[in-house]
């Protein structure tokens, strides 16, 4: 199974009961044979341009693990799902993810070193 990043823009009117459309998206992923690794609700944000006469959408990001035939199934299903305004399903760039983690770790070590120097002074 390969790792993917799935970002879904959900209709803003469904923000009050966000669990129903999210359950539908989760079911689409699991029915296709996938597994949701992590999920992050980014909340309601303004869109750069209007999509289906909407200026806002609820952004939800998921890390998913999918078999080879699942991305096509998920794409076909999300295209006809009314609750979803747009989606983006991309493969995970392992090199980029590792580089980002290393960058974050070096930034943390730099800030802790700076705090240690301030304590010594």
Among 1, 12, 25, which Cα is nearest to 75's? 25
> What own/partner pairs with CB < 8 Å and gap ≥ 24 does 36-39 have?
36/62, 36/63, 36/64, 37/3, 37/62, 37/63, 37/64, 37/65, 38/62, 38/63, 39/63
Question: From the CB of residue 90, how many other CB atoms can be counted at a distance below 10 Å?
Answer: 10
For 36-89, the pLDDT digits (tens) are 999 999 999 999 999 999 999 999 999 999 998 999 999 999 999 889 999 999
Distance CA 15, CA 85 (A): 13
Q: At residue 121, does pLDDT exceed 70?
A: no
Whether CATH 3.30.70.60 fits 2-92? yes
């Amino acid at each position: 199974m390969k790792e993917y990043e799935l970002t879904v823009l959900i209709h803003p009117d469904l923000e009050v009961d966000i669990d129903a459309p999210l359950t539908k998206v989760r079911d689409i992923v699991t029915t296709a044979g996938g597994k949701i690794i992590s999920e992050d609700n980014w909340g309601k944000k303004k869109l750069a341009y209007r999509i289906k006469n909407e200026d806002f959408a609820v952004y939800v990001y998921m890390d998913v693990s999918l078999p080879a035939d699942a991305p096509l199934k998920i794409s076909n299903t999300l295209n006809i799902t009314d609750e979803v305004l747009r989606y983006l399903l991309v493969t995970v760039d392992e090199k980029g993810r590792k580089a980002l983690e290393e960058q974050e770790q070096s930034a943390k070590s730099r800030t802790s070193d700076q705090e240690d120097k301030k304590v010594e002074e």
